[in-house]
Structure 1
Amino acid sequence: MANSTLAILQVCYNSIGPSRAQALSEALKANSTLTTLELFDKSIGPNGVQALAEALKTNSTLTNLELRNNSIGPSGAQALSGALTANSTLTTLNLDGNSIGPSGVQALAEALKTNSTLTSLNLAANLIGDSECQALAEALKTNSTLTALYLYHNSMGPNGVQALSEACYTNSNVAIVSDALQ
């Protein structure tokens, strides 16, 4: 029997791991009511998030996905970037503290160039430097739906700050929140 009422699922601070995340992703493929999924501090890792990303490609109800501190790494971010190009309902994605690194950020920046639904993206504490900021800035020049980009606790320097500042002149819809811009 399919659930027809659950809208928010918050499973935080419990170790579900990659295999249970894969089981949850199977449920997401068929779910028609869940709008918010919060899985932070779960250690679902890259394999777990890859399964969730596959579910996002077909899920049409989820609008808010919180994946803080899940050790998804670059490959997990790359999987999510693929989902962002196919998904048309997700508006909020929180990837705070996932060590997604340069290749993960590059992949997400590419996805932002075509994604037209995401309005808030949190990439705080993800080893983001100047070149990643430049990739994000390029994406922001064409993306008109993202209104909030969180970049706290990263390693951006003056070149990254400059690139993001210039992107804000081109795209006045977005607010970039970072300790480097304060």
Structure 2
Amino acid sequence: MELEKLVEALKTNSTLTILDLQSNSIGPNGAQMLSKALKINSTLTTLNLTYNSIGDNGVQALTEALKSNSTLTTVSLQLHSIGANRAQALSEALKTNSTLTALDLQNNLIGDNGTRALAEALKTNSTLTTLDLKNNLIGDNGAWVLAGALKTNSTLTNLNLQVNSI
């Protein structure tokens, strides 16, 4: 399995800063392997996992890695059917992660409940500058809680809410 070789290399590599795995069907197992490497890797700053069918287990594994990873600044998790429960897990990671500056969650299923969880994280997170929630089934309630979080958050400078129901 080639992904396994790549993941093993990430554990010791000291130069790679950008990894773009968009549209590779790495699946939940691949995401779990990758998350183990992210807990060790100390150089990767950008990770694109857009459209990889990583499922709930893969998203959960990655959120656990984000809690301890201290180098990633940009993560893209577009098109993974991330719903409210996984958004809650991501929000927990955002509460402790101190390096992530951009999180791309376009084209998921976060909805108002997931947005509520992310808004709670924004109240304490002091590094995220860009949050992309385009096309996530967010309605007025979600926008309302985000607005409340923006009253206290002093770092977010780019919030994309295009193609929602606000």
TM-score relative to the length of structure 1:
0.84
Q: In the alignment, what sits opposite 2:33? A: 23
Alignment of 1:30-179 (within 5 A): 30-156=40-166
Query: How far has the Cα of 1:43 moved from its partner?
Result: 1.6
Aligned residues: 156
**Seq. identity, %:** 65
Q: What SS does the corresponding residue of 1:42 show, helix, strand or coil?
A: coil
Q: Distance in 2 between matches of 1:46 and 1:126?
A: 16
Query: How far has the Cα of 1:76 moved from its partner?
Result: 1.5
Query: How far has the Cα of 1:35 moved from its partner?
Result: 0.1
Q: Deviations over 1:85-121 (max 9, x none)?
A: 0000000000000111122111000000000000000
CA contact (8 A) 1:84 1:115 kept: yes
Runs of 5+ in structure 2 lacking a partner? Answer: 1-10
CA contact (8 A) 1:45 1:73 kept: no
Q: Which amino acid aligns with 1:56?
A: L
Runs of 5+ in structure 1 lacking a partner? Answer: 157-182
Q: Distance in 1 between matches of 2:114 and 2:54?
A: 16
Q: Distance in 1 between matches of 2:58 and 2:43?
A: 22
TM-score relative to the length of structure 2:
0.92
Q: Which amino acid aligns with 1:5?
A: T
Please list every run of at least 4 consecutive aligned residues from structure 1 whose deviation after the TM superposition is greater than 2 angstroms: none
Query: How far has the Cα of 1:17 moved from its partner?
Result: 1.1
Please tell me the root mean square deviation across aligned C-alpha atoms, in Å. 0.9
